[in-house]
Structures are given as C-alpha cells and as structure tokens.
C-alpha cells in the first residue's frame, strides 16, 4: 500500500510544477544564507584561534559545503521542475530526476546534521577554550618572544570587551607569573623572596592585569595586593565586593559562541523544514508523472505518493536488493567447482 497517496489532475500537476520552480529559486537563496552563516561562524572562530587548542571548523565547513550544494542542486531543480510537467520532456529528464531526488535527500539530511551539530558543539568548545585560555595566560608575559608578542594584547582586549578575568575567575592569575622578568628588579629582596618561595622559581603575586578591572566600579581599581586588606584604605578583601570582573573568560566566550550557534542552528532547522517540503513536492511530481505515462493519457488523473509500498515493505525490498548484490560478488570456495565431472567421460 502506497504511503501518503494523492490524486493529481493535469491542472494540479501544472500548478505543483510551477510552485516547485518558485520554491527551488527560494532554495537557492537559502543556500546562500547557509553559506553566509557558515562563513560568519568560521570567521568568528578564527578571530580567537590563539585562545583555542583545537580548531573547531567542522560545523562552519559543513554549513559552507551544504550551502554551496543547495545552490547547485536547487538551480538544477528549477530546470527539471519547469520541463517535467510535459510528458514528452519528462521522458528525457526521468533518470536525471531520480538522481536529483536522491541528491536532494542526502543534501536535506546533511542540513539536519548541520543543525544538530550547532547544538552539540558546546562540549567540544568548552574543552578547547579551557586549555587554550590556560596556555594563552601562561604566554601573557612573553611580549619579547617572536610569535607571542600579540598574546598580551589579545587577552587584554578579550577581558575588556567581555568584562571577564582569567579562565574561571580572577584568582587564576594568582597561580601564573604574568609579569616578565625583564620588568622585575632582580636585586630587590622582595622579588628574590617571592621567587625562592615558589618551587618553580616563579614570581607569583596576588594581583591581576589592568584589563581585569571593572569599568563600572566607582572606586579606583585595586589590582595589586588584592588579598591584603591592610594594603588599601577602607578595604576588606573578605566582605567588600571587589572592583574586578568576577566572571571567567571561558564562560563568557562559551556563552557568546553558544548564543551564535543556537541562533544559527534555529535558522538551519527552518531551512531544513523548507527543503523537506520541496523534496516532498518533487517526489509527488515524479511519481504522478510516471503513473500518467503508464496510463498513456497525458490529460488523465494520476496518483502520486512518497513511497510505493509501506515503510516496512520498502525497507525489506531494499535490503533484499543489497543482499542479492552481495551474492553476485560472492566467491565459491569449492575446489572442485571448475573440475569436470568424471561421470561425463564414461563411455
């Protein structure tokens, strides 16, 4: 029994073909939208590639590829749908139309995969941001090292733009030497004492870079001796709200990229539903035109469907085809298969 069978007249088929031509032109535009979204996401990730250990380009690359495929496939669909309503021209496009439907099915499936990837990318992004920010903070002081001199500027801009500090918070800077030895007075007893008190000989202090300061705070920024309440007038480290950005940069970037990807994922899901509607319409056009040719009367009514048999029967039919193909290429291991029978030589 056919699945979702619909009866079409010649007039309704003409209208269906015209509607599909318009929808395919719209699909070309949606392909450009997918391409633009993928390119935008790729550029946003590329902006802060030095803050990530791994390059996460699978989602934008998928969107870019699917967008380009959408433009090509649907542009071909405009030509096919405009001519296939004529019985004589349909014979010319019959085989190509089947290939077009198969390509469109896989292309529509890839759109769905791309949308789901947008929603599932958060975990991978969180891991690569954690390690990337950790490495970048260690290189903050290396302003004289070629290839690393831009790290300090990028981190400062990041902390100012996103109003964040450190990886998980401002205390992350307490465990990292973020002041270069070039700017330390090695003859100072305080500097030597701090270095001797650390196992690795690092100059650690309870301070943060200037970019961690909260711009909205009315008090001048306290970025040094943060945990020493007696070092500042009218200041209590335990009870007073610090005039530093409390949020970690990993959480800020994660929320930023998550918002972008969820917005893109929502748009891609809408495009997927639209392409699914186009695919359904093309399938009805194909099956109804094939049935019209079987009837032999171009102006008669014909039936169209999504599947000629039920889903179970269609799956069983395709499974049998695959199984029979396997038997065709199966090698017989019988050693006597090519040996002529001895009974045939008895005279």
Taking only the tens place, the pLDDT of each residue in 62-101 is 999 999 998 988 888 888 887 776 666 767 777 777 788 8
Q: Which pLDDT score, from 0 to 100, does residue 254 have?
A: 93
Report, as an integer, the average pLDDT of 252-272: 93
Q: Which long-range contacts (CB under 8 A, 24 or more apart) does 87-92 make?
A: 87/289, 87/292, 87/293, 87/298, 90/289, 90/293, 91/293
> Minimum mean pLDDT among 148-157, 209-218, 330-339: which range?
330-339
Residue spans of the domains in the chain: they are: 6-124+252-322, 125-247
> Minimum mean pLDDT among 3-17, 167-181, 250-264: which range?
3-17
Task: Indicate if the pLDDT at residue 344 is higher than 50.
Answer: no
Query: Distance between CA atoms of 56 and 73, rounded to whole angstroms?
Result: 27
Task: Indicate if the pLDDT at residue 345 is higher than 50.
Answer: no
Task: Indicate if the pLDDT at residue 58 is higher than 90.
Answer: no
Q: Is 316 in a helix, a strand, or coil?
A: helix
Average pLDDT, the chain: 81
Task: Indicate if the pLDDT at residue 163 is higher than 50.
Answer: yes
Confidence of residue 200 (pLDDT cuts 50, 70, 90): confident
Structure tokens at 234: 């009218």
Report, as an integer, the average pLDDT of 316-330: 58
Share of the chain above pLDDT 70, in %: 80
HEC string for 18-78 = HHHHHHHHHHHHHHHHHHHHHHHHHHHHHHCHHHCCCCCCHHHHHHHHHHHHHHHHHHHHH
Q: Which pLDDT score, from 0 to 100, does residue 217 have?
A: 82
Cα dihedral 298→304→307→309 (10° resolution)? -80
Q: Which pLDDT score, from 0 to 100, does residue 120 have?
A: 87
Taking only the tens place, the pLDDT of each residue in 117-147 is 888 888 888 889 999 999 999 999 888 877 7
Q: Is 314 in a helix, a strand, or coil?
A: helix
Report, as an integer, the average pLDDT of 286-308: 71
- Would you say 226 and 208 are in contact if contact means Cβ atoms under 8 Å apart? yes
Query: Distance between CA atoms of 304 and 101, rounded to whole angstroms?
Result: 15
User: Which candidate, 159, 190, 191, 154, places its Cα nearest to that of 172?
Assistant: 159
State residue 333 phi and psi, 5-degree precision: -90, 5
- Would you say 289 and 84 are in contact if contact means Cβ atoms under 8 Å apart? yes
Confidence of residue 16 (pLDDT cuts 50, 70, 90): confident
> Minimum mean pLDDT among 2-11, 120-129, 151-160, 323-332: which range?
323-332
Task: Report pTM.
Answer: 0.78
Query: Distance between CA atoms of 101 and 24, rounded to whole angstroms?
Result: 13
């Amino acid at each position: 029994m056919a699945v979702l069978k619909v009866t079409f007249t010649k007039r309704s088929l003409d209208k269906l073909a015209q509607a599909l031509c318009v929808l395919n032109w719209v699909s070309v535009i949606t392909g450009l939208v997918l391409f633009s979204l993928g390119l935008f996401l790729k550029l946003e990730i590329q902006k802060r590639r030095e803050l990530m250990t791994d390059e996460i380009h699978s989602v934008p690359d998928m969107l870019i590829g699917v967008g380009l495929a959408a433009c090509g496939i649907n542009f071909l669909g405009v030509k096919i749908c405009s001519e296939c309503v004529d019985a004589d021209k349909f014979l010319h496009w019959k085989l190509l139309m089947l290939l077009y439907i198969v390509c469109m099915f896989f292309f529509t499936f890839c759109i769905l995969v791309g949308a789901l990837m947008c929603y599932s990318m958060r975990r991978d992004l969180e891991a690569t941001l954690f390690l990337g920010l950790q490495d970048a903070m260690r290189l903050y002081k290396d302003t004289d090292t070629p290839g690393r001199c831009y790290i300090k500027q990028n981190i400062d801009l990041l902390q100012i733009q996103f109003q964040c500090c450190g990886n998980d918070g401002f205390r992350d800077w307490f465990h990292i030497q973020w002041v270069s030895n070039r700017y330390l007075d090695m003859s100072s007893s305080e500097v030597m004492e701090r270095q001797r008190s650390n196992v690795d000989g690092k100059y650690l202090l309870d301070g943060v870079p200037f970019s961690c300061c909260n711009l909205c705070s009315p008090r001048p920024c306290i970025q040094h001796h943060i945990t020493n309440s007696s070092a500042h007038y009218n200041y209590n480290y335990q009870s007073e709200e610090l005039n530093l950005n409390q949020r970690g940069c990993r959480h800020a970037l994660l929320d930023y990229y998550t918002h972008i990807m969820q917005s893109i994922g929502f748009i891609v899901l809408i495009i997927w539903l639209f392409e699914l509607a186009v695919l359904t319409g093309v399938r009805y056009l194909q099956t109804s035109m094939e049935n019209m040719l079987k009837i032999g009367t171009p102006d008669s009514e014909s039936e169209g469907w999504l599947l000629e048999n039920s889903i179970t029967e269609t799956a069983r039919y395709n499974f049998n085809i695959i199984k029979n193909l396997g038997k065709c290429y199966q090698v017989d291991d019988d050693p006597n298969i090519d040996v002529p029978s001895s009974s045939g030589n008895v005279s």
